[in-house]
Each structure stands twice: as C-alpha cells, then as structure tokens.
Amino acid sequence: MANSDHKKGVKRALYHLLLWAISIFFFSPIIWMIICSFKTREEILMMPPKWLFIPSLQNYIGLFDMFNFSKELMNSIFMSLGAVIIAVLVSFLAAYSFSRFKPKGTDLIMFLLLSMRMVPAAAVVVPIYLLYAASGWKGTHSGMILFYAMFSIPFSVWILKGFIDGVSERFDETALANGGSRMHIIFRLVMPQVKPGLIAAFIFNIIFVWNEFLFNFIIGGKKTATVPVGLAQGFSAGGAIQWDFIATLTAFYSLPLIVFIFFFQKYLLVGMTFGTVRGEV
C-alpha cells in the first residue's frame, strides 16, 4: 500500500517536472535575452558564448540617455493608456445599447466592427494614411491616440457585450421600476458587475497598443514614436547592429506585460478571443 502511494508520488513529481521543463523551454529565448542584457557588447558577441561574466547594469542605465528613450517610453505609456481608456469607455456604452435595446442593425455593425479588426494592418493603414496626411493629423498625439482607440473598440465591444448579456435584465427593470435613471443603472448597477469584462478588454488592448509598430511607423511622426518604433530605428544606428541595445530594450519593455499576465492570467483567454470563449485555463 505504502509502496503504491510512493510510486504515485514519484509519478506525479516526474509529471510536474515535465511541465516545468516545458515552461522553461518556451521561456528560454527570453532567458537568453535577459542574460544578454546584463552583458557588455563585447561579451554578447563572444563565440563561444561567455557563460560566466560579471553582470552589469550599465546597459539599463545607458538606455535612458539613448535614442530619446525616455520620450518614447512616455509616449508608449501615455498613448496606450489614453487610447484604451477611451476605447473601453465608449465601447461599454455601445455594448450596453447593443445588449439591452438591440437597435436595428446591431448584428451588422458588430460584424463590420469585427471584420475591420481582421484585415491585415497594411490594408487598414493605406486609407488612414491618406486621411491623416490630408487632415494634418499625421504625427500628432491626438491623431495616434484616437486611431489606437478606434482599433481597440471592436474587441472591446465584443467582449463587453458578452459580459453585459450575462447580467440579468431584472436588475435594470427593478431599478427602473423604482425610479432609477438609466445612467445610474449603466454606471452603478451594470458596470461593477462586468468588471472582469472591463479588465479583459483593457488588458488585451493594452498589449496590442503597447506592442504596435507599423501604424505608428506610418501615420505617426518623430513626436509620437513609441518604444517599438525607436527600437526599429535604433536597430543599426551607426552601421553596426546594436545587440546590447536590442536585448536590454526588449527585456525592459516586455517586463510590464509579463507582470500583467501573471496577475491577470484568467483574463487572457477572454481577451484574446474577444469574449467568444470563456472558461478556466
């Protein structure tokens, strides 16, 4: 009896070991990148790789006086927060209307919104580029924020409509019968109950805007460059490819998102399937 228990325990330990090995295997390129970010440029280029070295924070300190990094970082933070907050708020209002009143054309608009999000980025950006060049929005912060907000709306509407559908209409009816206003129903009754949906929409879109490169590269300008744009341009400054810069920047820039998905892991599935798949992972 004790023997079979023991056997089971060993089997489980091996199974857990396997799972951890897989996890670390997937993460290994990132580990390598993090290691590189603590090396000097000469050490990164050494062959065979230098396994033992004195880690240095020099690259990280250097980051802040390189290639307008601080400005680009501020742009990344400012634009992704601004765009996503606007998008989630207006999407929430629209989702409430779609869910409760089902105005004519709801299905069509939901479908068109989603389709816009499925088009290759370069196809989206051609007309927007012409529009922005003609209207003078090209390279402005507000132009970029509103564009990113537009791009974050479809998934947000889809996610939030799914969640609002899940809130019983009884709440609305009871509050109405007692003389409550719609605004109070929307913001004080329904909103708190769809918090998971708000978080999922927020997380998913933040990840997208934070990482986005092509749109900013084309319809943005020097003033609005985010870190990925800076990374693309600083790639080979001065002829040689700056490996230390790339490794450090990538490690630094990815960290907030890694922390995000650690804390909000259960929202990742909802976010990435725009609310069409829910469940535990």
Partner 1 sequence: MSDTTVAKTIAQTDSSAGGMGWLRSLENPKYLQHLLLVPVLVFFIVWNVIPLFWLVGLSFYKYVLVTGEPLKFVGLHNFFEIFNSFEIWHALSNTFLFVILGAGTQTFLGIILGFTFWGSKELPGRRIALTLIFTPMIMAPLATGSFFKIIYDPVFGILNYFIKGVFGVTIDFLGSAVWAFPAVLLVDTWMWTPFMMMMTLAALGSVPKAELEAAEVENLSWYQRLIHVVLPHGKFILMLGILLRTIDSFKSMDIIFTMTRGGPGNSTELIGLTLYRQAFNAFTMGQASALAIISLLIAISFTSIYLYVLKRKEAAA
Footprint (CB under 8 A) of partner 1, residues 42-101: 44-45, 47-49, 90-91, 93-94, 96-98, 100-101
Binder to partner 1 among 7, 223, 235, 237 (CB under 8 A)? 235
**Is there binding between residue 276 and partner 1 (CB under 8 A)?**
yes
Minimum distance from CB of 268 to partner 1 (Å)? 6
Binder to partner 1 among 127, 136, 238, 239 (CB under 8 A)? 127
Question: Segment 162-201, which members bind partner 1 (CB under 8 A)?
Answer: 170-171, 174-176, 178-182, 184, 188-189
Minimum distance from CB of 5 to partner 1 (Å)? 16
Query: Of 1-9, 27-35, 54-62, 194-202, which part binds partner 1 (CB under 8 A)?
Result: 27-35
Size of the site for partner 1 (CB under 8 A): 104
**Is there binding between residue 112 and partner 1 (CB under 8 A)?**
yes
DSSP string, the chain: -HHHHHHHHHHHHHHHHHHHHHHHHHHHHHHHHHHHHTS-HHHHT-SS---S----SHHHHHHTTSTTHHHHHHHHHHHHHHHHHHHHHHHHHHHHHHHHT--TTHHHHHHHHHHHHHS-HHHHHHHHHHHHHHHT-TT-HHHHHHHHHHHHHHHHHHHHHHHHHTS-HHHHHHHHHTT--HHHIIIIIIHHHTHHHHHHHHHHHHHHHHH--HHHHHH--TTT--HHHHHHHHTTTTSS--HHHHHHHHHHHHHHHHHHHHHTHHHHHHHHTTTS-----
Minimum distance from CB of 4 to partner 1 (Å)? 18
**Is there binding between residue 202 and partner 1 (CB under 8 A)?**
no
Binder to partner 1 among 153, 198, 199, 201 (CB under 8 A)? 153
Minimum distance from CB of 182 to partner 1 (Å)? 5
Minimum distance from CB of 98 to partner 1 (Å)? 8
**Is there binding between residue 237 and partner 1 (CB under 8 A)?**
no
